[in-house]
A and B are shown apart, each in its own frame.
Chain A
Amino acid sequence: MMSAVKRSMVVERLRKDQMVELLSKEKRLDNRGLLDFRDIIIETGVIERASGSAKVQVGNTQVIAGVKIETGEPFPDTPDKGLLVVNAEVLPLASAYAEPGPPDEDAIELARVVDRGIRESKMIDLSKLVLIPGRKVHAVFVDVNVLNVDGNLFDATSYATVASIATAKMPKLSVDQNGQIKRTEEIIPLPIKSIPISVTLARIGDVLLVDPTSEEEAVMDARITLVFDEEDNVCAGQKGQPGTLNFDQVKLAANIAKVKAREVRKILLEGITKDAKG
């Protein structure tokens, strides 16, 4: 059972009043506008031994995702679908407040919200990952390591996951009449159907802002993450933190996130295709 309060970032919390006052003048400590993302840098193919990989920086937040593709047995209730597993870990080297040990509830929430965005947007056509229905399927494992924490892990982790999946390649497998699985020479990408884009907003006082830093997260009242596909459909969401949003703020956040998602989509697609060419 987890308790409600992390005993970290005490100083930041004491500076909440200062932050709220700044924000009421639409100013942020790093001079961004309320609805501006920090610079997003995406590099793919950074780990040769992984089937796909991506390093993503959102400001000082740094994460790295690696895809490993194996074969496995499908879940009994989805015999005709491949497996997708997204896992995230905040490494102890990522911040003064991170501790070694099994993923805590924050890391579990992070991984599950990112997983939800990938799964519900149907980014990977899991029905094309079946080798022998009910018996053998491809299993796609995405492990994300957070290397440096400076807020907005949800979006950074999501972008790294998406970029690593979108650029992953695997040897095509063939199944002969005896049900033996063999590697072929052919190298193929994963069956990609959609690119989901996650956008996270924080509410501090009465202000909604995009892409919060650690300092902003330490004083935020509530957080909301929404994930969009290319047709502006919303496909996953999660409110976080023990604060509230009023009804108008929920609707406003959805509108802002939709528009920001289009912006981030361009950056992410650029990062993904850069790798394909090079």
Chain B
Amino acid sequence: MVELINEKGLRIDGRGVDELRPLRIEVGVLKNADGSSYIEMGKNKIVAAVYGPKEVHPKHLALPDRSVLRCRYHMAPFSVDVRKPPQPSRREIEISKVIREALEPALILEEYPRTAINIYLEVLQADGGSRCAGITASAVALADAGISMRDMVVACAAGKVAGQVVIDLDDTEDKEGDADLPIAIMPNLNQVTLLQLDGIMAPEEFEKAFNMAVSACHRIYEVQRGALIDKYFGKGEAGEE
């Protein structure tokens, strides 16, 4: 067993309990997509692309009053230690669903009747918290695509590692730790759009972890904003660390 938090209160990668991994977001990385982004969060490397609003295929899925939002979260076979077969796993299908449901509240889909908006997430390398990084990247790609939005969506996990509540768990902490609580919020509307939990926490710990995750989301939101400002208004605020 690795020592997840040392006597100085530092985590395996030297972070404090309330410290994010190095985070970088880039906007407009794919020329063909209507909107795209690239995120690095720790060792996570994820590309997000948005295509749409466009025609719906198959046609019968189109809705008369709004756009159909679709989302595919997919992990590259080489993204994890043991090769992941390329066909979508049950885990990927569930994550695609919760990511779609996390983003949908922020989108004004009623503005695009009879169309589809497709979000594709490719996890090139996974490092714990890939669904959160994926949501954060998707929201940036949606904004880059010019889709009408009520707010951004930003996600971060909190959890319990070696008896302590920490934020932004990496792969080892996710696997060896006691609990993982990924959440997504709309940072200006103060609404939770995703919440999952696996692992055991006392009710007080749950509340503490939830609050810490919310505050971490606000920090990540600033990086999202900076990345978009960089692309559309020139260099300035992007990047943390």
Contact = CB atoms under 8 A, between A and B. Distances in A.
Interface of A: 1-5, 76, 105-106, 108-109, 111-112, 116, 119-122, 224, 226, 229, 231-247, 249-251, 254-255, 258
Interface in B109-145: 116, 118
A201 B201 CA distance: 19
B70 interface: yes
Contacts of A109: 94, 97-98
A74 B196 CA distance: 27
A4 B93 contact: no
Interface residues of B, number: 43
B101 interface: yes
B186 interface: yes
Contact of B192 (A112, A229, A250): A250
A28 B202 CA distance: 32
A120 B159 CA distance: 13
Interface string B71-99: 11000000000100000001101101110
A3 B70 contact: yes
Given A4-B70, A234-B201, A245-B195, A254 B207 contact: yes
B201 A233 contact: yes
B196 A239 contact: yes
Contact of A120 (B96, B101, B199): B199
B34 interface: no
Contact of A236 (B116, B190, B198): B198
A235 B159 CA distance: 12
A101 B68 CA distance: 23
B195 A237 contact: yes
B82 A239 contact: no
Contacts of A254: 203, 206-207
Nearest to A194: B200
Contacts, number: 123
A246 B190 CA distance: 6
A204 to B, nearest CB: 15
Contact of A105 (B93, B193, B198): B93
Interface string B176-198: 00010100001001111111111
Given A1-B70, A1-B96, A121 B104 contact: no
A239 B195 CA distance: 5
A224 to B, nearest CB: 7
Given A3-B69, A242-B104, A105 B97 contact: yes
B93 A108 contact: yes
Given A3-B69, A105-B93, A116-B198, A244 B192 contact: yes
B207 A245 contact: no
Contacts of B192: 239, 244-247, 249-250
A188 B207 CA distance: 40
Nearest to B189: A244
